[in-house]
Structure formats: C-alpha cells, structure tokens
Amino acid sequence: MRRDQERLRDILDAIEQIERYASHGRTACDNDELLQTWMVHHILIIGEAASRLSAAFRTRHAAIPWRQIIAMRHLLMQAYAAVGMAEVWAVRERNLPALKRQVLALIHAAP
C-alpha cells in the first residue's frame, strides 16, 4: 500500500504535467484535443490520489479542500460531458497553483 507522502508526490507530478503543457496558453488548449485530454487525465490523477490519502492525513490538513478535489474527479468521471474546457481551465488557473504550494509544503515538512 502506498503511503500518504507517495500520494502527495503523485499529486505534485500531475500538477507539474498540467503546467508543462498548459503553459502554451488557453487558445492552444482550446484548439488541441490531446492537450484537453492530457489536462483532464491529470486532474483525474490528482483527485484519485487525494481520495487515497488516509482519512487521518486529510483531517490533519483540512485547510486543503480535499472534498472538492475528489468531487472534481467524480464529476469528470461520471458527468464528463457536462464539464466544459472553460471549467477545466479554471481549475488550472484558480486552484492548481495554491494546491501545488500546499502540497510542496507538506512534502518538505515530512519527517
């Protein structure tokens, strides 16, 4: 079984993968189906890794919106047609920078 620190690294890796290609900009994303799929895939990884963190860990670090992160994964998996690229891009712009900072702090604070 993977530990919480490994799950945090999965989250960080997925964020960095999104950053890698999303740096081309919103227009490039809107015009590239592979890039869209890439971003959605990595948001799914983030949600899956968050859902597999121990409940105790999520409770200790309740300032991070774990429930919303996991809910986004469920939404993308179950109602993917209802989620537009504008919403996916908004997650990238609005949520991922803060999540990256929080996850990095947790990784660096680990014993």
Q: What is the pLDDT along the chain (111 residues), one digit of tens a residue?
A: 679 999 999 999 999 999 998 888 899 888 999 988 999 999 999 999 999 999 999 999 999 999 999 999 999 988 877 778 888 999 999 999 999 999 999 999 977
Residue 2 tokens, joined? 């993977």
pLDDT at 47: 97
pTM for this model (two decimals): 0.93
pLDDT at 18: 94
pLDDT at 45: 97
pLDDT at 86: 87
pLDDT at 61: 97
Helix axes 4-22, 96-109, angle to 10 degrees: 140
Q: What's the CA gap between 84 and 3, in Å, rounded?
A: 33
pLDDT at 99: 98
The residue written with tokens 């949600």 in the block is: 47
pLDDT at 101: 97
The residue written with tokens 């996850």 in the block is: 103
What contacts 106, CB < 8 A, 6 or more positions away?
A: 8, 61
CA distances from 17 to 57, 78, 111 (A): 24, 23, 26
